[in-house]
Amino acid sequence: MEQLTLVEQGKIEWQEVQAPRLEGPGEALVRPLAVSRCDIDLPYVTGLLPPPRPFALGHECVGEVTAVGEAVTTVRVGERVIVPFQISCGRCGRCRRGHTGSCESVPFLSAFGLPLQSREWGGALSDLIRIPYADAMLIVAPPSVPPWALAAAADNAADGWRCVAPYLAERPGAAVLVVAGIAPSIALYAADAALALGASRVDVLSPNPEILQVAARIGAHPIESNFSGKHGPYEITVDTSVDPSGLALAIRSTDHEGVCVCPVYYLGDATPVPLGRMYTKGIRLLAGRCHARREIPAVAAAIAAGRLHGEVIATRRVGWKDAAVAMAEPAVKLVVER
């Protein structure tokens, strides 16, 4: 079968590889139908985040089940499913607590389409992917939503949702600031989720006019600015800038007893954090990865109900064979579809 592989910085090519097969009774095979580019993919492709080795690309996926093991009970051959990007068993202590991105049954950081583990799980820009824990992982896709509009639920849309959903439940109607930079789609999905969940005001701050245009289209208030100064205050802030100055801005703009969420990875261990200001204001700073499987059902339901606007945030759609070129080209959110 064919698999899109990032061979090295700047070199992407379709490669012929051995097709996966069922290796146990609880597994499934899925044929990807639509794959969206995660915000981390472009930094890998361009070398901003140098890839440590060649790896299969693609991990935000909606696909069709083509085969299931004899123990699989939740999905059937022919059904369309959302495939969470992280591998999770659904049974270990962490999975039962909802921490599906840290499953104890597989090596830490196991995921499709990422070079975070020595073990290769395959990528969604392939003819087939093997799902090791089908009953735990796969979510039947809402039939009313086209695959291309749903693919990001597997990662970035779920990531944006978890940045605001629990905190708006604590503080209904809170004002939200999203600082957008290198991770533009997470920022926009967070803003979209905040609007859907009843935030009184959602501002998106970025120096990037294209991001701000999309923010305005989903109903957020765009603020064109660099990462200096102070805005707000806001009860909830989200920083997706991947820039220490963006994080500092988000914290400065967070209200007393507010929460600042960082869903992105800052390179190195030298990112300054103003602990004194946070202490005196009582600010909670939350940093960490999304547990996608836990969030996907709520995100998929919101998309199906028209409360989220994935069709707006997906700014570019290309055909399957165009992926090798398009994956290296700028776009707020790219979707590849068969």
The DSSP secondary structure of 121-149, one letter per residue, reads ---SSBS-EEETTHHHH-EEPPTTS-HHH
Q: State whether CATH 3.90.100.10 applies to domain 2-154+290-337.
A: no
- The model's pLDDT over 53-86, given as tens digits with 9 standing for 90+, comes to 999 999 999 999 999 999 999 999 999 999 999 9
Start and end residues for every CATH 3.90.180.10 domain found in the chain: 2-154+290-337
Instruction: Give the per-residue pLDDT at 101.
Output: 97
Q: pTM of the full predicted structure? A: 0.95
Instruction: Give the per-residue pLDDT at 9.
Output: 85
Instruction: Give the per-residue pLDDT at 90.
Output: 97
Average pLDDT, rounded, for the chain: 96
Instruction: Give the per-residue pLDDT at 148.
Output: 96
Q: How confident is the model over 234-244, as a mean pLDDT?
A: 96
Confidence band, pLDDT 50/70/90 cuts, at residue 119: confident
Would the pLDDT of 268 be above 90?
Answer: no
Q: Alpha helices, DSSP H only, in 197-286? A: 209-218, 244-252, 275-281
Instruction: Give the per-residue pLDDT at 269.
Output: 73
- The model's pLDDT over 11-30, given as tens digits with 9 standing for 90+, comes to 999 999 999 999 999 999 99
Instruction: Give the per-residue pLDDT at 117.
Output: 84
Q: How confident is the model over 293-318, as a mean pLDDT?
A: 96
Would the pLDDT of 324 be above 80?
Answer: yes
Start and end residues for every CATH 3.40.50.720 domain found in the chain: 157-287
What's the CA gap between 53 and 76, in Å, rounded? Answer: 35
Cis peptide before 233 (omega within 30 of 0): yes
Confidence band, pLDDT 50/70/90 cuts, at residue 242: very high
- The model's pLDDT over 135-190, given as tens digits with 9 standing for 90+, comes to 999 999 999 999 999 999 999 999 999 999 999 999 999 999 999 999 999 999 99
Q: Per CATH, the architecture of 157-287 is what? A: 3-Layer(aba) Sandwich (3.40)
Residue of 199, 175, 176 lying closest to 187 (CA atoms): 176
User: In the structure, how many helices (H) and strands (E) does the chain have?
Assistant: 12, 16
Confidence band, pLDDT 50/70/90 cuts, at residue 266: confident
What's the CA gap between 182 and 102, in Å, rounded? Answer: 24
